[in-house]
Amino acid sequence: MADKANLAARARVVREVVRSYFYVLLWMSISISVILFNKWLLAYSGFPFPISLTLWHMAFCTVVGTLAVRVFKVVKSHNMTRRDYIRRVMPIGMLYAGSLWLSNSAYLYLSVSFIQMTKSLMPGLVFASGVFLGTEKFSRGTTLNMLLIAFGVLVCALGEQNLVFKGLVQQLASLQFEAMRLAMVQVLMNSKGLAMNPMQSLYYVSPACFICLFAPFLSVELPHLMTHSDWSFNPSIMLANALTAFVLNLAVFLLIGKTSALTMNIAGVIKDWMLIFFSYYLFKAPLTRLNLAGYVFCCSGVFVYQYMRLQTVRASAA
């Protein structure tokens, strides 16, 4: 009886491990596909309009979210009042719109590999935003670790052969917007018991993003779309692009729900390395030894940060 119980326990563990790896691989493959798809669409397909692309994504997500919540009732609505929506969702939507707009704009100037290297700054920016908003406590050890990661990104930038300053500024601003958005979600939503799954996020946040993007679309990109004919538009490609972005939202939900946010962060480092080499082979983006040395330094700092966070969680649980 004991042997059968041990075998059953081992089989259960194997199934859990296989399932976890499946969700990790699913998320990594979809995430890589979306990033490479966006890079190709904006930089090589003849559609260099990041605001228009982001606006299209938000319109698509708004329709899908509305159908899921209001029509088919797949998920429940939080039934927010207009006042709560303006106070709690619109600031998040504004930050998310800025993050998506600028990150897509950076693809016009920077390689996918270098953009992935700069994302090592995210833990530090999220920590700094949390300290600013009062959701995180200042720690000298964590701050020092974040400065070391920033030094690694600086080394990556020094080794980047095709560095465009405008693209670098856009990418760094995008990361700061995203870090502040994550901190604001904690302040405005989670602390009030308004946690959202991806479908609810599509329903609430996508219209806010669309509204915030519409004014810059009218003033920045629409005049070029109307007066120039040197761009191409393929409806099937745009639909496929929006669908992959939507599926990525679901994959993120599955990965965190079936594993953990820590698993996603660790898998994200592996995904970034894969993207660096995919960018090198697909788009011929140059890589230097200084690039790679700086990124190894960044990854080491990120793993140390994750270890420190894990120790903090364990101490709190104890």
Residues 6+ apart with CB under 8 A from 34: 244, 245, 248
pTM of the predicted structure, to 2 decimals: 0.89
Q: Which whole-number Å values give the CA distances from 234 to 217, 237, 239, 240, 241, in the listed order?
A: 19, 5, 9, 10, 11
Do the beta carbons of residue 199 and residue 68 sit within 8 Å?
yes
Q: pLDDT tens-digit profile of 47-69?
A: 999 999 999 999 999 999 999 99
Alpha helices in the chain (DSSP H): 2-43, 50-66, 82-84, 90-106, 112-118, 122-133, 140-159, 165-188, 198-216, 222-227, 235-258, 261-282, 289-317
Q: How far apart are CA 59 and CA 40, in angstroms?
A: 21
User: Using CA atoms, how far apart are residues 49 and 245, in angstroms rounded to an integer?
Assistant: 17
pLDDT digits (tens, 9 = 90+) for 203-237: 999 999 999 999 999 999 999 998 887 888 899 99
Query: Do 201 and 249 form a contact (C-beta atoms < 8 A)?
Result: yes
In this prediction, the residues of the chain whose per-residue pLDDT falls under 70 are: 1-5, 8-9, 13, 17, 191, 253, 256-257, 260-262, 313, 317-318
Q: How far apart are CA 59 and CA 298, in angstroms?
A: 36
239-266 residue pLDDT tens = 999 999 888 877 876 776 677 666 777 7
